[in-house]
Amino acid sequence: MWWKNPKRSKFGSWLDRQGVTQVDFAKHSKISSATMWRLCTDKEYIPSAVVMRKIMSVAKTIDKNMKTDDFFNV
């Protein structure tokens, strides 16, 4: 699949496995598309606490066992 970026972060890879698009996740979590792009492609990026809280609240609606450590090296 040509649109899949092989250099995805843990978060981006998780989204791909769940079949969730970046646009849909950004809309539901109310974060910007630029932040969403950075979350999915930059392996070293660690979001602010506010953004992380928004991400995790939506991620837990998809998989209740998700933890911050599953995505980010905090």
What pLDDT is stored for residue 53 in this prediction? 95
User: Each residue of 28-45: b (16+ CB within 10 Å) or e?
Assistant: ebebeeebbebbbeeeee
Q: What is the structure's pLDDT at 14?
A: 92
What integer pLDDT is reported at residue 2 of this predicted model? Answer: 47
Please determine, looking at this structure, whether the domain spanning 10-63 carries the CATH number 2.30.30. no
Task: Spell out, as residue ranges, where the chain has pLDDT lower than 50.
Answer: 1-2
pLDDT reported for residue 74: 74
Tokens of 50: 């506010």
Give CA–CA dist 30/33, Å, rounded.
Answer: 9
Is residue 16 within 8 A of residue 8, CB to CB? The reply is: yes
At 58, which helix (H) or strand (E)? helix 49-62
pLDDT at position 4, please? 58
| Confidence (pLDDT) at 5 | 58
